[in-house]
Amino acid sequence: MTPSGSSGGSPSVGGMLLLFALFAALGGPLVFVIWETINQVLTGNLGAVRLAWFVPAAIAFGVLLFTLGRVLRRWSAGD
């Protein structure tokens, strides 16, 4: 099932908006953690706690991007 409620095919506009809103809601905080960690590393303030947040955030963001790419590829193929 796609977020549009149909089982495949081209998505509705509502389904696409729902997907992008979900991506922004989940991806925004992950980008913030990754961005702030990179800023702290570049300024020389590196802490173990920050790295403990960075690694899972980077992995989760990669998984989120991979999943979004698969959904968009499936929608563009029209399957």
* 55 in a structural domain: yes
pLDDT tens, N- to C-terminus, the chain (79 residues):
455 555 556 778 888 889 899 999 999 999 999 999 999 889 988 788 888 889 999 999 999 999 999 988 888 887 5
* Per-residue model confidence (pLDDT) at position 7: 54
Number of domains, the chain:
1
* Per-residue model confidence (pLDDT) at position 27: 93
Domain ranges, residue 54: 26-71
* Per-residue model confidence (pLDDT) at position 11: 73
* Per-residue model confidence (pLDDT) at position 59: 96
* 16 in a structural domain: no
- In this prediction the pTM is 0.73
* 3 in a structural domain: no
Distance CA 17, CA 75 (A): 13
DSSP code, position 8: S
